[in-house]
Amino acid sequence: MHQPQHPGAHVRGRGGSSTGHVVDAVIVGAGFAGLYMLHCLRGLGLSARVFEAGGGIGGTWYWNRYPGARCDVESMDYSYSFCDELQQEWRWTERYASQPEILRYVEHIADRFDLRRDIQLETRVTAARFDERASRWQIETDRGDQVSARFCIMATGCLSSAQIPAFPGLESFAGTTYQTSHWPHSEVDFTGQRVGVIGTGSSAIQSIPIIARQVASLVVFQRTPNFSAPARNGALDPEFERRVKADYAAFRQQARESRVGFVVPANAESALAVSAEVRQREYEMRWQRGGLGFAAAFADLLTRQEANDTAAEFFRAKIRATVRDAAVAEALLPKDFPLGTKRICVDTDYYETFNRDNVTLVDLRSEPLEAITPRGVQTEATEYELDSIVFATGFDAMTGALLNIDIRGRGGSTLGDKWVDGPRSYLGIAIAGFPNLFTITGPGSPSVISNMMVSIEQHVDWIADCLSHMREANLYTIEVTTQAEDSWVAHVNEVANATLYPLAKSWYTGANIPGKPRIFMPYVGGVGAYRKTCDEIAAKNYEGFKLTG
Ligand code: N01
C-alpha cells in the first residue's frame, strides 16, 4: 500500500495523469459508519477525506429531529463497541436513547477521536468514477472538489434518501410543510394549529402522540396500518447498566453472534406446538417487556403463516382493547402483511392517541388521497383544512443514496445501469465491475434487519482488515468476481424466500417507490451467521474476490 499522503497534497496518481487532492480513501457520509471507518483508516496510517452532505455529523441522527425521534434498539446495544473506555465512560440516560442524546454521543465521538479535521460538511458527493489507467477513484462534489482516491467507501446509510410522493397540488399548499427526515433545527410550535400527518410508519408513530398533545387538531392520513409494540421507555435501570458494564465484552459478543444484532430471549418452539394459553403468556410477556424482539417469541413466526397469524392476532386484540372507538380500532388493525415482515414499530402511547378528542384517523383505503390543495388535503370524501402538513412518507431505502451519485466503474459503466433490475452485490460490501469500492451495510447484508451499530462495526472492521491485508501482501486492487456476486445474490433471495418477509409490500423490497424494481434487499440469514461467512471468505484469501498487485 502506498505511503499515506497529506489530504491536501497535489501529486500524480499511480500511472495516471490526474492531479488534484489525493488521499488513500474517500468516505462518503459522516454518520456512525463514516466516522468509525475514518477512525479505522487513521489506525492503519491511511489518509482519508470524509464528505458529508449535512451541516453536521451524525447521518440519520442529524437529519431526523422530528418530535419523539428515538432509537428502537436499546441504548446499551446501540453504541460503539470498539473502545472499552468509551463504552464504560459513556452514560445513557434512558432505555432507548432520544435523537438529541444520540447526536450528543456522535459529537463526543468526533471530539474524543479527533475526527473533525478530515470531515468536510455541507458537501455532497455527486460523482465517483473509476479511472482504470490509474486504478483510482475520481470523486467530485457539489462544491467543486475533485479528489483522487485509491478506495471509495460508501457510508451513505440505508435510510438517507428521503421521499415525498408526487402528490398532485403539493406546491399549492398555503400552510407550512414539514418532513420528518428533514426536520427544522429550531423548535416547531404547533400550538393552536390544525395539523395533518401523512404516513403511519415508525417516524409517524413516534411523532403523532407528541404532536397530538400540542395541536388544536390532528388528522392522521393512513394508507397501511402497521404493527406497533409499546416501547416501555424510561430511565436506564442503573442495575442493568452496572451488569452490562461489568462484562461489556461478553454482552457485545452475544449481540454479534445473535440473529439481529442484539439479544432477545429466543424461543426454539413452534407457535403451533403449544397451547393457546402458553402462546398468550409468551406474547403477553413480550408485550409487557416492550420494544423489539416480538418476532423471536416462537421459532416459526417469520416462516409459517399460521404461526404468524397467532402473533398478529395478539397485536390486533391489543389495539381493539386500547382504542375506544370500534371503527377507528378496526381501521388501525394491520392485516396486509405478516407481523415482523416490516420492521415492527416501537411506540409510546400511539394507539392511546386515537382516544383523544382532537385526533382523527383518515383511512386512505376507503377515501383515497386525491390532492394537496391550498387549504389542506383533499380525499375522495372531503377536504381536510390544515395549517401544517407533516410528511412521514419514508425513504428510497438502501439503494437511493448510492444511485443519487453518478458512480461509474470499469469501462465507464454506471451503477444505475448495473442495478436497473435491482441491486447486485457481494455480501452487501462489494460490487463486480467496481474495484476498490466498498459499501458499508449495502444491499445484500443484514443492515436494516439488524442493530445497525453491530452491522456497521462488522463491515468497517472487515474492510479495515481487508485493506491491511492488501498492504501486507502488496496488493493494489480488490474486485469481486461476477460469479461470486451472482451466487451471493441467489443466496440472499433463497434465504428471503424461505421466510414470510417477501410477502410484505415494504421498503425492504422497494415497493414504496413507484417504478423501483422489486427485489428483497437485506440479508435475513442472521447477523451471526453472516459475520461467520464474511470471516470465512477473508480467511480463504478473500474468496470470490480478485486481488491484483
Ligand atoms: O418510513 P416508512 P418511516 N400516500 O416507509 C406512507 C426506520 N426508523 O420514516 O405503508 C399515503 O416506514 C406509507 O404508507 P404505505 C425504521 O427502520 C426507525 O416511518 O406505503 N401514504 C407509510 O405509512 C423504519 O422502518 C425509527 O402504504 C404514503 C409511511 O408513509 C424506517 O426507518 C424511527 C404514501 C412511510 O413509512 C422507515 O420509517 C423512524 C402515499 N403516496 C424510522 N407514500 C426508530 O428507530 C408513503 N406513504 C424507532
Closest CA to ligand 1's atom 20 = 512
Segment 468-497 mean pLDDT: 98
Q: Which atom of ligand 1 is nearest to the CA of 346?
A: 48
In the predicted model, is pLDDT for residue 500 greater than 90?
yes
236-251 residue pLDDT tens: 999 999 999 999 999 9
Distance CA 101, CA 223 (A): 32
For ligand 1, the distance from its centroid to the CA atom of residue 507, given in whole angstroms, is 8
Distance CA 1, CA 187 (A): 49
H or E stretch at 359: strand 359-363
For ligand 1, the distance from its centroid to the CA atom of residue 510, given in whole angstroms, is 12
Contact 63, 182 (CB under 8 A): yes
Q: Strand, coil or helix: what is 61?
A: helix
Q: Strand, coil or helix: what is 257?
A: helix
* Average pLDDT for the chain: 95
Distance CA 252, CA 263 (A): 9
In the predicted model, is pLDDT for residue 19 greater than 90?
no
Query: What letter represents residue 138's amino acid?
Result: Q
Distance CA 428, CA 458 (A): 12
b/e string for 109-131 if b means 16 or more Cβ within 10 A? bbeebebbebbbeebebbebbbb
Distance CA 59, CA 456 (A): 13
Segment 87-108 mean pLDDT: 98
* Among 215, 178, 228, 218, residue whose Cα is nearest residue 361: 218
Three cell numbers at 290?
A: 416492550
Beta bridge partners of 430: 426
Contact 200, 222 (CB under 8 A): yes
* Among 149, 148, 128, 163, residue whose Cα is nearest residue 416: 128
Distance CA 452, CA 458 (A): 10
139-167 residue pLDDT tens: 999 999 999 999 999 999 999 999 999 99
Q: What is the pLDDT of residue 5?
A: 35
**Rounded (5°) CA angle 540-546-549:** 105
Closest CA to ligand 1's atom 19 = 201
Q: What is the pLDDT of residue 85?
A: 98
Q: Strand, coil or helix: what is 207?
A: helix
Closest CA to ligand 1's atom 41 = 165
Q: What is the pLDDT of residue 290?
A: 96
Q: Which atom of ligand 1 is nearest to the CA of 200?
A: 23
192-224 residue pLDDT tens: 999 999 999 999 999 999 999 999 999 999 999
What does DSSP assign to residue 501?
G
Our measurement of the distance from residue 176's CA atom to the centroid of its chain's CA atoms, rounded to an integer in Å, reads 27
b/e string for 347-380 if b means 16 or more Cβ within 10 A? bbbbbbbbeeeebebbbbeeeebeebbebbbbbe
Distance CA 413, CA 400 (A): 18
H or E stretch at 84: helix 84-89
Segment 521-525 mean pLDDT: 97
In the predicted model, is pLDDT for residue 48 greater than 90?
yes
Distance CA 89, CA 85 (A): 6
Cite the DSSP H helix spans in 385-481.
400-403, 415-418, 452-472
For ligand 1, the distance from its centroid to the CA atom of residue 190, given in whole angstroms, is 22
374-433 residue pLDDT tens: 999 999 999 999 999 999 999 999 999 999 999 999 999 999 999 999 999 999 999 999
* Among 430, 422, 419, 427, residue whose Cα is nearest residue 446: 427
Closest CA to ligand 1's atom 43 = 393
Residue ranges around ligand 1 (CB below 6 Å) = 71-72, 159, 165, 180, 198-204, 206, 223-224, 343, 346, 364, 369, 392-395, 448, 507, 512
Q: Which atom of ligand 1 is nearest to the CA of 393?
A: 30
Q: Sort 88 into a burial class: Cβ within 10 Å, 0-12 / 13-18 / 19+.
A: exposed
Work out the pLDDT band at 293, boundaries 50, 70, 90: confident
Distance CA 128, CA 258 (A): 35
For ligand 1, the distance from its centroid to the CA atom of residue 202, given in whole angstroms, is 6
Segment 489-513 mean pLDDT: 97
Distance CA 187, CA 66 (A): 10
Say which range, 43-52, 112-121, 258-267, 455-464, has the weakest mean pLDDT.
258-267
Three cell numbers at 80?
A: 460503539
